[in-house]
Amino acid sequence: MSIVNASYAVLSDPVQRAQHDDWIAAKEAADIFVARRSSQSSQDGAPAQKESSMAETLRGIGLLVAIGVFALWLVLSPSTPPAPSGLPTYDRDAKSELAVSAPTQAPAYVRPATAPNGSPWPTQAGYVAGYKRLRSDGLSELTVDNSSNQSDKFVKLVAIDGAKTMPIRHFFIPAGASFTVGNIRAGFYDLRYMDLSDGSLTRSEKFELKQVEDMGGVSYSKSTVTLYSVQGGNFQSYGLNPGEF
């Protein structure tokens, strides 16, 4: 390191470097002179040996300087390529920045022109054509009250007491109207309905329809469910996932 530091000090200073170049030129001239004297005066052993020793000393100094210069080159020169940063590819031009995309907005709700099965909406409260009427072997009745609401409803009566939860009736109730579903088998049910003004989905709480035979005949349920948006409605309601409507 001391050789490297000394070499760097000489090579980085213009004055010292000029002196060093002059010294190299003088050394080369001395080497030529010594070589000529050695070839002409091979009989004068002692003087020739003395001059040869001086030449060897100069060569040693020159070799040390050369080694220092080479070591300095090794220090200042990159020995291995730099390790990758692991960052994305560097764009030195940076011609443009990526545009920031605006947040995606859900499309505005549009009231469907028909029921999900393609049937037209009834002109008044009633069943929607094309859907099967299941569990129709009972006597119970259910009146769904939409009389105080300002929006039409598409309603499903859903059986929830079997191996599968399934809709058994599909009907339409316009704003300000009611509809009575008859001949329902006894069991547990809920109502699931779509507000056709904004597409929101709602589920009622569970309720039971009963049918009991006794000596006096058959007694059965005649119930009324007021939809949740009516003030003072008699049933609790919940938001509904589209996959459960």
The CATH number covering residue 223 comes to 2.60.40.1120
107 assigned to some structural domain: no
Of 191, 192, 170, 186, the C-alpha closest to 135 is 186
91 assigned to some structural domain: no
Residues 145 and 236 reside in one and the same domain? yes
Which token pair is 239? 């938001």
Query: Residues with Cβ < 8 Å from 185, sequence gap 6 or more?
Result: 135, 136, 137, 138, 140, 209, 211
31 vs 162, higher pLDDT: 162
Which token pair is 88? 């994305």
239 assigned to some structural domain: yes
What's the confidence (pLDDT) of residue 231? Answer: 46
Domain containing 158 equals: 126-244
205 assigned to some structural domain: yes
Strands 217-220 and 237-239: unpaired
Per the document, the length of the chain is: 245
Q: What is the mean pLDDT of residues 119-133?
A: 97
Q: 17 falls in which pLDDT band (50, 70, 90)?
A: confident
Residues 65 and 142 reside in one and the same domain? no
Q: What is the DSSP letter of 242?
A: G
Residues 141 and 38 reside in one and the same domain? no
Residues 68 and 133 reside in one and the same domain? no
Residues 231 and 131 reside in one and the same domain? yes
Which token pair is 155? 């309603």
Cα–Cα distance for residue pair 184/70, rounded to 1 Å: 102
Residues 145 and 215 reside in one and the same domain? yes
Q: Is the pLDDT of residue 220 over 80?
A: yes
What tens digit of pLDDT does each residue of 73-116 get?
555 555 556 666 666 666 666 555 555 556 677 789 999 999 99
